[in-house]
A and B are shown apart, each in its own frame.
Chain A
Amino acid sequence: MQELRIHGRGGQGAVLASAILADALVEEGRHVMAIPAFGFERRGAPVVAFLRFDDRPIRRATNIYTPSLVVVIDPTVGRSVDVFAGTPAGTTVVQATGKKPEELALPSHLGRVAVCDAVHIALDVFRRPITNTIMLGAFAKATGLVSVESLVKALEHTDFRDAGLRQNIEAVQRGFDETVVRQLDGVAAA
């Protein structure tokens, strides 16, 4: 069973991203359980969403405390919350940032980091800093756990239509294409 935590800020669509990724994983025959963490949701406040997936049915409807996959869709939310909390050795972190991997302050136990200048892409594609679907493309590139094709199918299942759908498909593809992946020294989890 894989466990993923998505960090963002209220209004950026972290919860929607987890639902789209869940749908894409089901396209690939996986079982999923996506649960948004809840708090006093408001625009701009740190938000967390959880997603489990497995080849077998998932029974536990609980939050995730030790994710080995972390996606951070906002470049600054790491200043407000510890996005590495609970991560085991070998964890993969996918970070929205304009920085290069070597410019990030990362804990030594990570196994892989991927960076994507998602805000830049978002301003290009949407004219707004909405990074969630871009970071799904980045996740696909960084982990190989889901394909762009499945993400596109999942987008087609949402309420996105016409220009909105085309923009989000472009966002996923550009997120995939423009993500840089770097292996780190952290011991890979068994």
Chain B
Amino acid sequence: MSKVVVIDGNEAAAWGAALSRPDMVAVYPITPQSSLVEYLAKFIADGRMDADLMDVEGEHSVLSVLHGACLAGARTYSATSAQGLAYMFEPYFRTPGLRLPMVVSLVNRDSVSPTCVWGGQQDAMTVKEVGWIHMFCENQQEICDTIPIAYKVAEHPEVMLPVNVNHDGNYLSYGVAKVELPDQAVVDSFLGEKNVNWHACLDPERPMAVDPLTGGATGAGPATFVRYRKGLCSGMRAALDVIVEAHADWGRRTGRHWSPLIEKYRMEDAEVALVTIGSMSGAAKDAVDEARLDGRRLGLVKIKTFRPFPVVQVAQALSKVRAIGVVDRAVNFGWNCGPVFQEVLAALYHLPLRVPAMSFIGGLAGADITVEHFSQAIDRTLRLAAGELAVEPVWLNEND
């Protein structure tokens, strides 16, 4: 039987992980992730979760321990944020190349300096090219549901890549809402028999080497390295279909049908569109509804899967609008605009006609993106549609 509970996003993530029955979790606490790993420890202490929990001395060890476990055939889970992810980066970089199908929640937090401990997606956006799959959740229920889906995707033989399930620090991590916990038997049958890491398994009876020395300019080195790199790209490409299938399968079993790659909200006849990601999307939808009441034909595209980037779906969804406003919770330094904005621009290049688009940046370091902020973004995007160019991003909280 599924069960209705009233919990915050970190507990929703812990439940999503527990229901996926990982064999091993390794943890190191960091704000705003800490309560998530405390819930895992509590579940294990209460006998509600059967996993080995390793409380290690830092995030580099968290991921290194899980590498060993994953190579030995274990299903693994952890969670981190911002500076923890930074400290994890060396094994983090290694994970997709090893094709380890682990799931790690990123409780998104802005990164220092200046010092801050609050929500923002700078952590995830800074590692978007590493080779992990990235999914972003809008609410507590989606967090709980997406973690089992992430295992299904990660462990698919055509994918075999690690997945970060992202949820915004503060607004989701500590925000409390109603969540329907799926029945354990439903999750068990959804995930099927555990079949983790069939291609490389640490076994004393069958010793084998992984992570070979490759590259260079001679012998088999360069070709081997290219083969690994192309394999990773091929896993990413395959993931698009697998993510769609996994979400559909989850929907059939639970009745909750999350949009797998992008969600199109009121886009049927939209003339102007917002693009959002993560927990900001709810307030943005409310703002779209208000604009619709004023007779403006607004729509919204929410990015659920950010890696692999759903280029075709994004380009098609936005192909008929007259202007696009992309709202980011992070900064792409160098381009000096939002990172999702840059991705959307790249996707739009595949369209025969140029669609004007502009960047909005808000919600950094815990700042709130309210319905009013989205209404301002809508007004500005409507002016873009009318021909008022925008080269610089609009910083939504600049005058709060």
A residues in contact (CB < 8 Å) with B? 15, 18-19, 22-23, 26, 31-36, 38, 58-63, 65, 154, 157
Contact = CB atoms under 8 A, between A and B. Distances in A.
B174 A60 contact: no
Given A26-B178, A35-B171, A38-B170, A62 B6 contact: no
A32 B286 contact: no
B175 A34 contact: yes
B54 interface: no
Interface stretch (B18-26, B68-76, B309-317, B365-373): B365-373
B4 interface: yes
B4 A26 contact: yes
A161 B171 CA distance: 29
B53 interface: no
B214 to A, nearest CB: 45
Interface of B: 4-6, 8, 118, 139, 168, 170-172, 174-178, 279-283, 285-286, 366, 368-371
Dominant SS among interface residues on chain B:
mixed
B178 A32 contact: yes
B367 to A, nearest CB: 10
Q: Shortest 7 CB-CB distances between A and B: which pairs? A: A59-B282, A34-B176, A23-B6, A60-B283, A61-B171, A35-B175, A61-B279
A32 B6 CA distance: 9
B369 A32 contact: no
Given A34-B177, A61-B282, A157-B6, 9 more contacts: A18-B176, A31-B178, A33-B175, A34-B175, A35-B175, A59-B286, A61-B172, A61-B283, A157-B5
Contacts of A15: 174
Contacts of B281: 59
Contacts of A22: 6, 176-177
A160 B368 CA distance: 32
Given A22-B6, A23-B6, A38-B118, A62 B174 contact: no
A145 to B, nearest CB: 16
A61 B8 CA distance: 12
Contacts of B280: 61
A157 B8 CA distance: 14
B369 A62 contact: yes
6 contacts: A19-B6, A19-B8, A22-B176, A32-B176, A61-B171, A61-B280
A38 B6 contact: no
A42 to B, nearest CB: 13
Nearest to B174: A36
Contacts of B285: 59
A60 B371 CA distance: 8
A23 B8 CA distance: 11
Given A38-B118, A38-B170, A38-B366, A61 B175 contact: yes
A19 B371 contact: no
Contacts of B282: 58-61
Contacts of B283: 59-62
A31 B140 CA distance: 13
A62 B371 contact: yes
B375 to A, nearest CB: 12
